[in-house]
Every structure is written in structure tokens, then in C-alpha cells.
């Protein structure tokens, strides 16, 4: 049986810790999802989510995990080949989803921890024509941060839609949906938004939706044209995960009260603290290069003989949860998810616990 942790100790890079008040909101009674009370709830969520995404556009709300809106992006993208920028497990998943949806996929792959350089993407976009480019903003498996603004500009210049996974970006790292004129950007509830898993949110531009309308392979459940049409009526196409929407109602009010810029700054401060902690530890390093590091998650490389799974296990013995490395990086790294509602003070506790367990050299 899993031991219950005290609040402020769950530093997994997803799902992230959810505050008790937010969990409690899920016990509210059901309501009809075709009715005024629901429409009011949905409209309230829109106000908060629009601040989070920095947009005036409707937010598409899906009762799925984030991968649902990843697949929706591919299904609704214009016909033609897709260029996938791959630098870790989640960007690889995006490419895999595109192949599974019958797309021809060309991949630019870089070593784990790195990001695809804009020059490399541009060379490929110049060489042949693509319908869309898939990009992961914050690659949660490595902690690497891609410049989505630059990638969006490049994609547009070469006539491709830019499909952006900002699952561990949105609500923790600056994303300016309108300011950067993003074609399509999505996130999931269980990362920097600090909600339980099960919801996903996206914004699609007018241009993206206009061409989606003429795409024949959108399917039904993940048809973004439907999502947007219903969102404009403050509804969802199907029965939404109401209890999760109640939780989002409470959490978005807290996020708005904090202010999105203050939230970004808090994430930056936590990331800086983790980077400083790593620098104090001989043999420890940060997988992602300086200048391309996410403020939400850090993958920390370990000295010879120290395994990521051991670090995670010893943190657990101290009453804290951190992530092991992901996939191929399982034992070469461990990950701290410094995102969501965590504080600098709570993070100090986590780092101190890691030190007590022999992290200090
Ligand atoms: C967690 C995560 C996903 C997958 O989200 P699910 O909610 O498990 O579908 C996709 N991309 C990134 C970058 C993630 O961190």
C-alpha cells in the first residue's frame, strides 16, 4: 500500500501534487451538462484558462489525458507529410501518434537532453514540403526546453501548421498563445496546472480550424471543429468529466489570484534553486544544456555508481517523491518536478531530504 505523504512532498514530474481543497471540490454533486449551471461553470473555466494560455480564443476542453489532444492535433491537421522534432520520449510519442494516424512522418532526432536547432528544422522545411510540424515545448523526459516561438515562425514561413505539446509548459513557463500567434497548443491537467489527471486543454487558431473543416479524416471523438463549436456555446460535445471540472474551477480561481506571471516567476525561482543545488554536488549535472532548460522539470545526471532509481527510493524513505529517469534515462538520471503549486520553501525540504540520503558529496 502507498503511504500517504504530507502536503508539499510530491515532486513527481506528473502527475503533480494536488491541493486538498482542489481534491475536495470533486465531491460536489452532479449537474446536467446541458443546462445553465453547467454553462456558467464552463464560462468561468474559460476565463481562467484564457489567462493561463494568454489568449482571447475559446479553450477546447477534453475529458482525456493530454495524448488525446495530441492525437486530435494530428487528425485535424491538413493532409500531407509531417515533420516531427524528436528529443525525448514525449516528442517521440507525437511522431508515433502521427504514424499511427496514417501519416508519412519525417523525423529530426537529436540526442536526449538536447533540442532541435531552428537551423536544422529550417533546412528540412526548405528541402521539402510539410503539412505540419510537431514540437514538444518542455520535454518532460529530459527537462529540455524548445523555443516554440521560433519553431512557430519557421513552420508558418514554410507553409506548415505548428502543433505544440506544452504539457509541462502551460501554467509554469511563459506561453503566449495570441502574442506568438500559435497554430495549436495543448496541455494536460496533471502537470503545471496541478489538477488530477483526466482533462486536457488546447487552443486552435482560426487558420488551423478553417483548414481542419476541409480535412476528411478528423474522426469523431477528437474532432477539434466540434470542440470549438461547443465551446462557443459553453458546452462540450460529450459528457465531460464533471468532477474534474469542479476541481479545475477551484484551482483556476487560485491560479488567477496568484497571477500567471507570478506563477511563471515562482517556477523560474524553483528551477534556479534546483540548478544551484546541482552545482553544489560534485559529479551531478543537468542533462539539458544551459539556455534550453525547462523551469518545470529538471533531469539530473548522476555520478558513476549512483542510480536514478536509488535516488528516488531514498527520497521516498524520507517521505518525498521525485521521479526516476524516464525510459532509457531511467538510471542515468533522476527528475525533480518543480511545478504546479510547489513553493521554494517546500522545494528546500525536498533537496534537504535528498542530501540526508547521501546525495551530498
Ligand atoms: C505527461 C506528458 C504527455 C502525456 O500526457 P498524458 O496526459 O499522459 O496523455 C505528453 N507530453 C508531455 C510533454 C508530457 O509531459
Q: Show which of 225, 256, 287 is a domain's final residue.
A: 256
pTM above 0.85, yes or no: yes
Q: Are residues 48 and 117 in the same domain?
A: yes
- Our answer on whether the CB atom of 14 is closer than 6 Å to any ligand 1 atom is yes
Query: Ligand 1, from 68, 90, 92: best to mutate by most atoms within 8 Å of Cβ?
Result: 90
- Our answer on whether the CB atom of 234 is closer than 6 Å to any ligand 1 atom is no
Q: Which atom of ligand 1 is nearest to the CA of 14?
A: 1
Q: Are residues 312 and 167 in the same domain?
A: no
3-state secondary structure of 71: helix
C-alpha cell at 352: 534537504
Ligand 1 centre from 304 Cα, in Å? 30
Residues shown for the chain: 361
Q: Are residues 234 and 282 in the same domain?
A: no
pLDDT value of residue 358: 62
Q: Are residues 141 and 184 in the same domain?
A: yes
What are the backbone dihedrals phi and psi of residue 230, each rounded to the nearest 5 degrees, phi first? -70, -40
How buried is 337 (Cβ within 10 angstroms: 0-12 exposed, 13-18 middle, 19+ buried)?
buried
> Please, what are the averages of pLDDT over each run of 10 residues along the chain (361 residues)?
79 98 98 97 98 98 98 98 98 98 98 98 98 98 98 98 98 98 98 98 98 93 98 97 98 98 98 98 97 98 95 96 95 97 98 80 42
pLDDT value of residue 360: 46
Q: Are residues 296 and 222 in the same domain?
A: no
Ligand 1 centre from 296 Cα, in Å? 13
- Please give the Cα distance from 170 to 186 (Å, whole number): 8
- N-terminal to C-terminal alpha carbon distance within the chain: 33
Q: Show which of 195, 229, 256 is a domain's final residue.
A: 256
Q: Are 95 and 86 in contact (CB under 8 A)?
A: yes
Q: Is residue 117 part of a domain?
A: yes
Q: Are 142 and 329 in contact (CB under 8 A)?
A: yes
- Our answer on whether the CB atom of 145 is closer than 6 Å to any ligand 1 atom is no
Q: Is residue 353 part of a domain?
A: yes
Q: Are residues 266 and 251 in the same domain?
A: no
Q: Show which of 230, 256, 282 is a domain's final residue.
A: 256
Q: Is residue 43 part of a domain?
A: yes
- Our answer on whether the CB atom of 297 is closer than 6 Å to any ligand 1 atom is no
Q: Are residues 239 and 267 in the same domain?
A: no
Q: Are residues 233 and 275 in the same domain?
A: no
Q: Are residues 329 and 192 in the same domain?
A: no
Q: Is residue 4 part of a domain?
A: no
- Our answer on whether the CB atom of 89 is closer than 6 Å to any ligand 1 atom is no
* Ramachandran category for residue 47: left, alpha or beta (phi over 0 → left; psi -120 to 50 → alpha): alpha
Ligand 1 centre from 361 Cα, in Å? 34
What are the backbone dihedrals phi and psi of residue 129, each rounded to the nearest 5 degrees, phi first? -95, 135
Ligand 1 centre from 3 Cα, in Å? 25
Q: Are residues 279 and 294 in the same domain?
A: yes
Ligand 1 centre from 166 Cα, in Å? 9
| Biggest alpha carbon–alpha carbon distance for the chain | 60
Q: Which atom of ligand 1 is nearest to the CA of 67?
A: 9
Q: Which atom of ligand 1 is nearest to the CA of 188?
A: 7
C-alpha cell at 337: 518536478
Structural domain including 340 reads 260-358
Q: Are residues 199 and 339 in the same domain?
A: no
Q: Are residues 247 and 270 in the same domain?
A: no
CATH code, 277: 3.90.1150.10
Tracing cell 554536488 back to the chain, one arrives at 281
How many domains does the structure of the chain reveal? 2
Q: Are 349 and 17 in contact (CB under 8 A)?
A: no
pLDDT value of residue 166: 99
Amino acid at each position: 500500500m502507498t503511504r500517504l505523504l504530507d502536503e508539499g512532498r510530491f515532486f513527481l514530474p506528473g502527475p503533480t501534487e494536488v491541493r486538498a481543497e482542489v481534491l475536495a471540490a470533486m465531491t460536489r454533486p452532479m449537474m446536467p451538462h446541458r443546462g445553465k449551471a453547467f454553462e456558467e461553470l464552463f464560462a468561468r473555466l474559460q476565463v481562467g484558462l484564457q489567462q493561463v494560455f494568454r489568449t482571447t480564443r475559446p479553450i477546447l476542453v477534453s475529458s482525456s489525458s493530454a495524448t488525446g489532444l495530441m492525437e486530435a492535433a494530428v487528425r485535424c491537421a491538413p493532409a500531407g507529410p509531417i515533420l516531427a522534432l524528436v528529443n525525448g520520449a514525449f516528442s517521440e510519442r507525437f511522431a508515433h501518434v502521427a504514424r499511427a494516424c496514417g501519416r508519412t512522418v519525417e523525423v529530426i532526432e537529436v540526442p536526449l537532453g538536447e533540442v532541435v536547432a531552428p537551423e536544422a528544422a529550417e533546412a528540412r522545411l526548405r528541402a521539402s514540403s510539410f503539412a505540419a510540424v510537431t514540437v514538444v515545448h518542455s520535454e518532460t523526459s529530459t527537462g529540455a526546453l524548445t523555443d516554440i516561438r521560433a519553431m512557430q515562425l519557421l513552420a508558418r514561413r514554410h507553409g506548415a501548421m505548428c502543433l505544440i505539446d506544452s504539457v509541462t509548459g502551460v501554467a509554469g513557463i511563459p506561453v503566449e498563445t495570441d502574442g506568438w500567434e500559435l497554430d495549436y497548443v495543448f496541455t494536460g491537467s496533471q502537470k503545471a496546472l496541478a489538477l488530477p489527471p483526466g482533462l486536457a486543454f488546447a487552443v486552435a487558431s482560426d487558420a488551423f480550424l478553417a483548414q481542419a473543416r476541409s480535412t476528411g479524416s478528423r474522426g469523431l471523438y477528437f474532432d477539434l471543429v466540434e470542440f470549438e463549436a461547443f465551446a462557443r456555446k459553453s458546452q462540450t460535445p460529450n459528457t465531460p468529466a464533471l468532477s474534474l471540472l469542479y476541481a479545475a474551477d477551484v484551482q483556476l480561481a487560485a491560479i488567477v489570484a496568484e497571477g500567471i506571471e507570478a506563477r511563471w516567476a515562482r517556477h523560474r525561482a524553483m528551477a534556479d534553486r534546483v540548478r544551484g543545488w546541482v552545482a553544489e554536488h560534485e559529479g551531478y549535472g543537468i542533462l539539458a544544456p544551459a539556455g534550453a532548460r525547462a523551469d518545470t522539470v529538471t533531469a539530473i545526471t548522476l555520478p558513476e555508481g549512483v542510480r536514478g532509481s536509488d535516488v528516488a527510493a531514498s527520497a521516498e524513505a524520507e517521505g518525498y517523491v521525485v521521479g526516476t529517469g524516464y525510459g532509457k534515462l531511467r538510471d542515468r538520471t533522476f527528475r525533480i518536478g518543480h511545478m504546479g503549486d510547489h513553493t521554494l520553501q517546500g522545494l528546500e525540504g525536498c533537496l534537504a531530504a535528498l542530501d540526508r540520503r547521501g546525495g551530498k558529496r
